[in-house]
Amino acid sequence: MQVLRASTVVLPFSYRLSGGKINRLTPSIWSAYGLRSAATSAEYPGSLSGVNFFFDQNRKANVPNTGHLAGALSSRFMNETFGLFKDGTKPLLKSVKMTIDPNFYNFHYGLLGNAMVKLTNFNKNAFKTLCEMTLGDDKSLLCKVEATTEVTQDHKLHAISDDVTEELRSSQIRDDLKHSLINLEKLGLPSEPCMISSVEVRPSDLDENRNVNWAQMLSYCQHGIRSAMLSKKFQVATRMSSLAQIKELHLDVTGKVSVGDTVDVSVYENAELNRILCIGKCGEEIVCKGYLDLDREIAGELPQWQLPMHTESDIRVYTDIPSVGFHRDRFNNVILQYVKEAISNSRLNCYLAQGYLKGHLLENAIQIIFTHRVKIDPELFKIGQFQDLKHDLKLLSLGKSSFIVNTDLQLHDKVLISVASNIVNFSMKDGKGVPFTDWHQKTFSEYRNKLEPHEVDVPSKIPKDAYKHTFYSRYDDLDHHHIITNTRYITFCFDTAANAIYKRSPAYHTGFTYDFNPNCVREFDICYVNQCRENQQLEVTTFQNHEDPQKLHFLLTKGDKTVCYCNMTIDLNSSTV
């Protein structure tokens, strides 16, 4: 068997950054999941164990993603490290202040970061942590993260137990925590905002504690900042590379929001202080507020880095993927979107890797996924945090300007998810397909037209009782080409199904009670027809097949254009939630 091995083997608690090319990291990008100690400790050293990132179409600068920089402060991390949360108590991250050293922007592929987390202060309902991230043996500082977390139970403040309190005191942890909220007026808040953007809370925005957490609130603010940039409302942050010049970021969560609520994000600019300020409101209640300071002296562009790959073959890849970066949904399932993104990122680095390494790149071409056929084992949604998964990618067929690959994600040789993708080489200049070179056709001759691309059937008729849901795309829906990432469309389908059930639509007539749990999905086919960008109005039409209730159908449109359509097979025995 021919095998291609990539150098992205990941240890359980340390992560050498994997995937394609990037320029540099930005503060909202890293997440240090996976740090844990053998026993309760006031201080724990560990390795940076996960990074999520976006980079723009021209790769001139990275731009922030959904803001999951709080991995080292997550509930799972704190539970593993300090053992504070028992008997149903849960942490609620309320405030994060991040100070960034310019060294942070030189942190790139192949480098291993170190994290030192300290529990510094506490009171009866909350605690404060300090995380210092350094690079290499010389321990040069990358950033500092100060976070305040409240202890809750049933969404109410809960007292830290006496035995934990005594253990903290015996570890010399100070019990004098006093948390004061950000005073934006003292930080130079202008009288009028540059822009106000509205964000609707989706079902998929809820975390495993059914909260819109701190990281998601940050993504709402990022959406507002991005909208103001596109509308040319700023003097300081005039281009996306400005968001790779952050030297300090601070956000407080001050209120709660629910599915269907609208968060209005007011964005302000203090050009004299190189500062952007944000206030998020739900009605009249302030639910978050914060600021970020920019360092204009940080270089706008840095050299590109490439991930080295060592090959033994052309048509098959084995890599390891840690499960620590897989976030959880409101049912405590592993989120399917993050699983698909993890294997997609690995796949993007490995497409016809031999051609990549030997310089047989296709000029001015990007790879666009046209169809997906996905099969899911229910055990996928139960993956533990510290599982080492195997990713198996193989080429199935090669056409004139397209190819088909299959990727499996395995745990102990059991396939948890299998994804067959039909991918087209697409020209950025004229919008046409880019044919493979003679070298590709010769190298992969035994795979030429071996399989026909699978087709996704479109329902011949949409019933009158079909449910329709309208929403606007957001900044955190985008990929590095500044179009909506294909994995996001699956989340749109899940959100629409949930809304149909919330509203007791007759479109979903069998097997559902009050919500849609994605763990009932066993298979789906999806075809991508057109692209979408942020701040566009989209509509999803969905219904449950009357003849076969295990089939769900989705049609996503933008005006009179079809964006994608999807057929989903579910297990009705798992759908009753």
Q: Shortest CA distance to 520 belongs to which of 408, 380, 326?
A: 380
CATH 2.60.40.1120 is the classification of domain 21-294: no
- The reported pLDDT for the residue numbered 503 is 95
Q: Which two three-digit tokens encode residue 429?
A: 């200049």
What is 526-565 written as a DSSP string?
EEE-S---TT-EEEEEEEE-SS-TTEEEEEEEETTEEEEE
The reported pTM is 0.84
167: exposed, middle or buried (C-beta count within 10 Å: 0-12, 13-18, 19+)?
A: middle
* Distance from C-alpha of 96 to C-alpha of 94, rounded to nearest angstrom: 7
Residues of the chain by 3-state class (helix, strand, coil), percent to 5:
20, 35, 45
- The reported pLDDT for the residue numbered 35 is 28
Q: What is the residue extent of each domain of the chain?
A: 1-12+307-454, 21-294, 456-577
Angle (nearest 5°) at CA 433 between 429 and 434: 80
> pLDDT tens digits for the chain (577 residues)?
223 222 222 222 222 222 222 223 333 322 222 222 222 333 444 444 333 333 333 233 333 333 444 444 444 445 545 556 666 777 788 888 888 887 776 655 445 666 677 788 888 888 888 878 777 677 778 778 888 888 888 778 888 878 778 877 877 788 888 878 899 999 999 999 999 999 999 999 998 888 898 888 988 998 898 889 888 888 877 766 666 677 888 999 999 999 999 999 999 999 899 899 999 999 999 999 999 888 877 655 544 444 333 344 455 555 555 554 567 889 988 888 777 766 665 544 445 544 544 556 677 777 788 999 999 999 998 887 667 778 787 888 888 988 888 888 888 889 999 999 898 888 878 878 888 888 888 888 888 889 888 888 887 789 999 999 999 999 888 876 778 988 899 999 999 999 999 999 999 999 999 999 999 999 999 999 999 998 999 999 999 999 999 999 999 999 999 999 999 999 998 765 6
How is domain 1-12+307-454 classified at the CATH fold level? Thiol Ester Dehydrase; Chain A (3.10.129)
Cβ atoms < 10 Å from Cβ of 27: 24
Q: Shortest CA distance to 158 belongs to which of 130, 112, 126, 190?
A: 126
- The reported pLDDT for the residue numbered 276 is 92
- The reported pLDDT for the residue numbered 34 is 28
Architecture of domain 456-577: Roll (3.10)
* Distance from C-alpha of 230 to C-alpha of 225, rounded to nearest angstrom: 9
